[in-house]
Chain A
């Protein structure tokens, strides 16, 4: 009896200590709008896996809480005078989660793996600036011909085709993360499974139940483990945004990276500062089919663009979760001057008048309406946007019809260069550089849905690519935007995206930033 009581007392005391005392495990339940496609960093492409992989792995460079570049797996680096050779000094004593050292050979292996056609990495093009990378992906050269070298165990050397000022920025992307060669070779395709996955980041993979949760736990072997305050992060897929809000309210989630825009006004009233909306590096745009009449007429394209009331779209359709856009490259990239269309600053009434005049000159009006079909992928917000535009253009004698198809059909149609008048698309930056947007208007690029070609534009991009001076390069890119977007409307910019987060006031260290990246290692929870 006495023994029983004693053991009960000890047990209870331990339990109380465990739940309230210094041993309490800090758990961060992190809502993620979808499950990742894969946990193999070289096979991923979406933002859904980016946050998870950022916690699991550490690239050569990484970002701090404000998404500014800081040294990652590389402690330091040097760049050759011509800007083409980068030499990275890896962090001394850095370990994989299985205790083996992270070496330059792992990086050589990983980078050759990304561009290897057998991997079919969707983001192989992130390493396209590296010598021979593109030819390897196209099957014209062998992976070992890539411009990467392990000078010694801790020195990794990369040779680029041309000086690439945003190269260090690209290295924060998951496609450039290292994988442990020993691990991948031993486990094969199963290396991403919990129990198998070896990583070098602040966390290691503990559990992955599809559509339920991904649990990652603090990696004691991470070089900065002493400053990692959250012990466990559960990434919880939240396809249903309304449910996500209720789960947040009930305390089941500490954050979520998407919000139901239609409830935004109510949500702001209810959750106050916990709702975080701000500019994000992404653009929502339409593409005209420039190769066919009447959309080959630049004046007509501008008239349509001018007549669209973007303030209304942002405010009424998107509840201020989007920002009116007059350029393709969103503001927020240091050193880059965004180039907007001439009428960006004009009042909507003046714009409509100007548009009406142009349309009348071209012979369009209520008696001879211009027919325009907007194609988009299925979504309530895309539909409402198109309907608003339909109403805005109606008085000007433009008869807009709307056709929506599911995402795969829509983008399949665009990729095949199928017929359309105007089609909806969107682009979220992979890295903080204008080139990431402007390359979409380059002649012959797959995502150049309007099939825009202009030698002047292509030359300006080529000039930027060859430029070793970052300021010079930004200037060329800015000029390219002035030509391709502001002058020629290779895309019709409508809105800039905003990030939309709900973050519990218990979470500290959450810094809003234009890339909307928030590594768990910099967060803490009260």
Chain B
């Protein structure tokens, strides 16, 4: 009875917090804190996109900065090169990213196995980085600089305040997390986790593991591209080094693993811890020559991997267990939502 009440209170608190989220700009205004909040939402979405194939599917990709970059360039080129609204570019970028993802991963899933996928995705980051550096059509090494055009949702662009971006990031968050939450309880989510846990077993139960992994990869890449589109609209410029880099790729991986790979909440928790760290260390120690944030990242990951490989989600579960809740309750979360 008591535990039930506590759970209800917790739910109520969550709903109340969720209701307050849209009101944040009224309080936070146009501050650095606002910027950090937007980045937390963005990185949570990026990591959630990665989580589909890397966490639920168990296929570690180091290539997600490429898909992110393709999305950024899609929106960027629509605005800068073609003088359109970014939205058609967003769609084109998502499709292109999904196609590239499938082309790269098909041979890995079909013919090769094991670590080749990680290696192949690692390699494409350098390839795409170099290609975009010398490719005149996409702006080359100079990248794309946005012109001053009308602000608003049509151009996904705001100059005076960050409020518009904040709501946009919230929308992105609801969309990406909503998609993954939906899939978790459906056939595709079960098949994806089954393929991770035992490919031969899954196949013996009628699961075409190649198709499942390819679909997960395509969706993951498309959502990463969507995040990339938001990124370029937020920065109002893009060049190859900003998006298509191993640094960026590794952030997709680290945020998810720190938060808890293969869990819905993991990417949000990871981003909520790492992004403030990154932004505030950068603001404080940026003058020391960059990289301090990455040192902190590295330390955190080492501690997590040693202490609790399941990430922050795992730590939360441990705490819940200590607090006397039944362990089955804490673990069974993913299985509840079959619909």
A binds B: no
